[in-house]
Amino acid sequence: APCCSPSGRAHAMMKYVRTMLRAFGWGVYDSLQFHRTVIFLVVSSRIRRNTLMCVFLNGLVFIGSYYMLDFIVLPLLRLIITFDLDPSAGEDEKILGEETSKFLVDKVFFWLYHTFWLYPIYALSNIISAIWYQGIVDATYDLIHDKNIGRVEKISFVVEKFYYFFLTIGFYIQMFLVTFIPIVGDFICFVHVCWLYSLYSFDYKWDKQGRKLTERLQYFERRWPYFLGFGFPISAVSLYFPFLVKYGLYALTAPLFIMLAIMAEPVEISDGPDKQSRARGENLVLRLPIYWFPGKCADYAAICCCGKSSEH
């Protein structure tokens, strides 16, 4: 058969690669349509207010506090403590005093600043930002979708959130483990970051639609090139920043990506010419079990907490 010949296999492989790249490209394209969010910011005072509060908390307060430590607080403390050294002290005492002051500023105060200021803001931002994001989702849906949308039962919703928490921990563990893969470990970790940001953006939409967690993950795994592309821009921008700054960058831009996710429609890929103009990612792309290991971690946590595996 032609498909079994070397040239046939090469053609099929090239078609598969083109399909993945096309899906990836549509994801990048959809995530950069920021002009489409302007109308929501203009029309809805709730969206505008919540977005501005996200920018203020995560941008000015959180990221500002991080860099204020490096560029203002620590240099000022070093200057003050240096001036406070006794000029009449001996050379050995001066060296010891300088080392002690450096340890106090660069280690002790650095740790105290992170423990009692940055990390509390980080925790507070996670909670408050999630509330603001939900308000943005609700307001966006009121503008462009039917308000009579699906919703899972309250008990099922709580169980899924509990399971989703352990699933996220499992995904972070998987991200950590892939970094040990020689040569390509860091690249695979970056791919995971893209998927993570993309899932965060779409999860509010799927939650609003009442989709069960199993359905969300299957949908995600079938369209993994598209979601890789959707999360790529913000991941690339934050690639070389420290962890806390990465979080702050996503948190302050999340309102835009959440609105873009609500408007995005990752449609299926098919062999038919009628869908080639808007091919984004399923039938010709094999399902990638991205959440197999995180799912096992979440199942184990459910067994430990509840005595049985969760039917997510």
Residue 296 has pLDDT above 70, yes or no: yes
Structure confidence at residue 12 (pLDDT) = 73
Read off the pLDDT of residues 16-27 as tens digits, 9 standing for 90 and up. Answer: 788 888 899 999
Read off the pLDDT band of 79 (50, 70, 90): confident
Q: Environment class of residue 204 by beta-carbon count within 10 Å: exposed (0-12), middle (13-18) or buried (19+)?
A: buried
Cα-flanking dihedrals φ and ψ of residue 115, to 5°? Answer: -70, -45
88-92, 117-121, 231-235, range with the lowest pLDDT: 88-92
Beta carbons within 10 angstroms of residue 119's beta carbon: 12
CA nearest neighbour of 197 among 158, 236, 165, 159: 236
Q: Tokens for 81, please give them.
A: 């403590």
pLDDT, tens digit, 9 for 90 and up, residues 167-203: 999 999 999 999 999 999 999 999 999 999 999 999 9
DSSP string computed for 180-244: TSTTTHHHHHHHHHHHHHHHHHHHHHHHHHT--HHHHHHHHHHTHHHHHHHHHHHHHHTTTS-HH
Average pLDDT over residues 87-105: 64
Q: In this structure, which amino acid lies at residue 117? A: W
**Is residue 272 helix, strand or coil?**
coil
Q: How many other C-beta atoms can be found within 10 angstroms of the C-beta atom of residue 187? A: 12
- Is the model's pLDDT at 276 over the cut of 50? no
What HEC string does 94-154 produce?
A: HHHHHHHHHHHHHHHHHHHHHHHHHHHHHHHHHHHHHHHHHHHHHHHHHHHCCCCCCCCCH
Q: Which residue has the higher pLDDT, 74 or 233?
A: 233
Q: Match 């080392």 to its residue by tokens.
A: 99
Higher-pLDDT residue of 101 and 19 is 19
Determine the pLDDT at residue 164. Answer: 85
Is pLDDT larger for residue 181 or for residue 209? Answer: 181
The whole-number average pLDDT for the span 269-295 is: 64
* pLDDT(233) > 80: yes
Mean pLDDT of 53-59: 95
CA separation for the pair 274, 110 (Å, rounded): 59
Instruction: Tell me the pTM.
Output: 0.83
The confidence score (pLDDT) of residue 208 equals: 87
DSSP at 278: G
Q: Is 220 exposed, middle or buried (0-12, 13-18, 19+ CB in 10 A)?
A: buried
Cα separation, 175 vs 190, whole angstroms: 9
**pLDDT reported for residue 279:** 44
Q: Which of 208 and 198 is assigned the larger pLDDT?
A: 198
In the predicted structure, residue 245 carries a pLDDT above the cut 50: yes
pLDDT reported for residue 172: 94
Compute the distance between CA of residue 54 and CA of residue 251 in angstroms, rounded to an integer. Answer: 7
User: Quick one: DSSP state of residue 1?
Assistant: -
pLDDT at residue 147, rounded to an integer: 55
Q: Which of 256-260, 272-276, 299-303 has the lowest mean pLDDT?
A: 272-276
What pLDDT is recorded for position 277? 43
pLDDT at 90: 56
- Range 52-76 average pLDDT: 93
For residue 174, how far is the Cα from the chain centroid?
Answer: 15
Q: With bands split at pLDDT 50, 70 and 90, how would you rate the model's confidence at 156? A: low
Q: Who has greater pLDDT, 189 or 272?
A: 189
Q: Which residue has the higher pLDDT, 231 or 161?
A: 231
